[in-house]
Amino acid sequence: MTGKGSGRRKEDINKIRNNWDSVFNNKKDKQLITEVTITFNMKGNPTLYDMKKEVEKMCKENKIVCTTVTKYINA
């Protein structure tokens, strides 16, 4: 055993990733972007306007689920 306590601390993967980047990556030539993905089903062949309205409706009803990925890209 190497320490006291009942288990490991909860890890924040985003904090670890950001700390790693701040130490080891040269960010001068890179741009930070966030990719946002919203997944939902709609009947038929909806237009972009129909999809926008559906997302707005889901936001108002607190039913929207999205995922994000933040990364650096070469500028």
pLDDT higher than 60, residue 1? no
Per-residue pLDDT at 50: 94
Provide the residue ranges of all domains of the chain, joining segments of one domain with +. Answer: 38-75
SS3 annotation, the chain? CCCCCCCCCCCCHHHHHHHHHHHHCCCCCEEEEEEEEECCCCCCCCCHHHHHHHHHHHHHCCCCCEEEEEEEEEC
Per-residue pLDDT at 14: 78
Chain segment 42-74, per-residue pLDDT in tens: 999 999 999 999 999 998 898 888 888 888 877
pTM above threshold 0.85: no
pLDDT mean across residues, the chain: 81
Per-residue pLDDT at 3: 65
